[in-house]
Structure formats: structure tokens, C-alpha cells
Amino acid sequence: MPAFHYAFLVRELAATRNFYVDLIGCKEGRSAPTWVDFDFFGHQLSAHLGDPSLNPANLGLVDGKQVPMPHFGAILEWAEFDSLAKRLQLAGVAFVLPPQVRFEGQAGEQATMFLLDPSGNALEFKAFRAAAQVFAA
């Protein structure tokens, strides 16, 4: 699968580096005084200084739960998801939606969690019980 590129706004680069490198486990790539790239599970994230201003009225409904929109994230292996969830919980991260399984016993069964980065950008991490069901209808 080709890697994707996603550019987004952050309020401060040092806190962004700490979150994505030290907490999430990304590797830092190229940078300049106003932006930094991260290897986000094989994809390129570009964090640029600016005002992300998450609007809390922007919510979607998935499996009966409100989730922040827009959001981005990564699909991980089940064990990798569990490891990241435990690391985030130990770090005291406040979750928008804590780690849980949705669509249990159905096509597309998945573990999911939502959190905000230091600038308020919403992230979702998920893992599918069966990797072949990522695009299940």
C-alpha cells in the first residue's frame, strides 16, 4: 500500500515533537523552523506552525459514539494497538474515546481509541480483528 502524506497545523513544535516522537513512537524526519515531518507508521506527517482550532461541534457518530471530526490516525496490528494503548494510559493521556472494541462479532470488528495531540488535533488508532476486513462492506 502506498504511503500517504498529511499536513496539519500545530501551535508549538517542541510539544508536537514530544508527543509524536516520545509518546506515539514516530521517527522525526526533515524539519525547518516552522514545520517538522514524522514517520507515522510508514506514512509522512508534516506538522506546520499555525492555529488548528478544533471545533467541538464537529462530531460524527460511529457505532453510537460521538467521534471528533476531522481526525487522522493509523491502522495497527492488534498487539501493536494494545501496546500503544497501554503506553498512552501509563502516560496519563486523556482520551476522547478510551481504548475499546466496536462492531464486536460483526464484519469490521475493531479496537479503537481517540485522543488529541498537544495542539488539539484529533487522532484515531485502530486495529482490525481480521486485517482483510479493513474495507469490509
For the entire predicted model, the pTM comes to 0.85
Grid coordinates given for 108 = 469490521
The pLDDT, as a whole number, for residue 73 is 93
pLDDT in tens, 103-131: 999 888 999 999 999 998 999 999 998 88
Distances (CA, A) of 11 to 31, 37, 51: 15, 15, 6
33 upstream amide cis, omega within 30 of 0: no
The pLDDT, as a whole number, for residue 11 is 92
Residues 24 and 125 sit within 8 Å (Cβ to Cβ) = no
Grid coordinates given for 88 = 498512552
- Nearest Cα residue to 53 out of 19, 9, 95: 9
Residues of the chain with pLDDT under 70: 54-57, 137
The pLDDT, as a whole number, for residue 54 is 55
The pLDDT, as a whole number, for residue 48 is 92
The pLDDT, as a whole number, for residue 57 is 60
Long-range CB pairs of 54-59, under 8 A, 24+ apart, other chains included: 54/116, 54/120, 54/121, 54/122
The pLDDT, as a whole number, for residue 2 is 75
Residue ranges of domains in the chain, CATH in brackets: 5-133 (3.10.180.10)
